Structure 1
Amino acid sequence: MAIGLHTLEPAEGAKHRRKRLGRGIGSGHGKTCGRGTKGNKARDQIKPNFEGGQTPLHRRLPQKRGFKPVNKKIYSVVNLYVLEEHFSDGAEVTPEVLIQQGFVRELHDGLKILGEGNLTKKLTVRAHRFSERAKEAIEAAGGTVEVLPSLAR
Structure 2
Amino acid sequence: MQLHDLYPAKGSKKARKRIGRGNGSGHGTTAGRGTKGQLSRSGGGKGAGFEGGQTQLAMRLPKLPGFKDHNRVAYVPVNVSRLDALFNDGDTVDPESLVTKGVIKKDFIPVKVLGDGDLTKKLTVKVDAVSQSAQSKIEAAGGKVEAVC
Band the TM-score falls in, shorter-chain normalisation:
0.5 to 0.7
Partner residue of 1:105?
105
Partner residue of 1:66?
66
* Residues 44-73 of structure 1: per-residue CA shift (max 9 Å, x gap): xxxxxxxxxxx89x8387632332112111
Show the 5 A alignment for 1:29-68: 59=59, 63-68=63-68
In structure 1, distance between residues paired with 2:59 and 2:102: 46
Shift of 1:110: 1.6
- Does the alignment pair 1:82 with 2:79? no
Secondary structure in 1 matching 2:137: helix
In structure 2, distance between residues paired with 1:126 and 1:94: 5
Q: Is the 8 A contact 1:75 1:110 kept in 2?
A: yes
Give the AA of the match of 1:143: G
Partner residue of 1:129?
129
In structure 1, distance between residues paired with 2:69 and 2:116: 27
Report the RMSD for the aligned CA atoms in angstroms: 2.6
Shift of 1:143: 0.3
Alignment identity in percent?
A: 44
**Residue ranges of structure 2 left out of the alignment (5+ in a row):** 1-54
Count of residue correspondences: 97
Range with greater deviation from structure 2 (138-147 or 62-71): 62-71
Shift of 1:147: 1.3
* Residues 73-114 of structure 1: per-residue CA shift (max 9 Å, x gap): 111221101011111111111111101211012456621111
Q: Is the 8 A contact 1:74 1:108 kept in 2?
A: no
